[in-house]
Amino acid sequence: MSTVPGPLVRRLLQRDAPRVVIEIDGVAAAAFAGESLLVAMLGLGARLRSHELDGAPRAGFCLMGACQDCWVWQADGTRLRACTTRVVAGMRVRTAAPDPGDDA
């Protein structure tokens, strides 16, 4: 029996949107073009990111852009709300804030 949790969301409807490749923490991942980044990321794993203070897994809270719980970052350091950001091919996303000294 595996102790690693699986995806938190499962897509129930067949999607006809094109599949695209995005990068999450340096790892290539497939997603559907136009779906929310939150759905794409939770469809691939059991967490969206880790809480900054205690490291607890976070998966978003309100799912509508009001609660501040689904922040992720682009490779250049720009913050994104995963629940209101649409997936586009070639996105490079980080689940932790980049260090100020990083050269993305």
- What is the block-wise mean pLDDT of the chain (104 residues), using blocks of 10 residues? 59 72 92 89 79 78 77 91 92 85 56
Which pair of structure tokens corresponds to residue 45? 């794993």
Could you tell me if residue 73 is inside a domain?
yes
What is the domain range of residue 38?
A: 30-94
CA distances to 35, 51, 53, 94 from 88, rounded to whole Å, are: 9, 25, 30, 15
pLDDT of residue 89: 94
pLDDT of residue 7: 61
pLDDT of residue 87: 92
Give this prediction's pTM.
0.74
**Count of domains forming the chain:** 1
pLDDT of residue 48: 79
Cα 80 from chain centroid (whole Å): 10
pLDDT of residue 73: 92
How are beta strands 19-24 and 27-32 bridged, if at all?
A: antiparallel
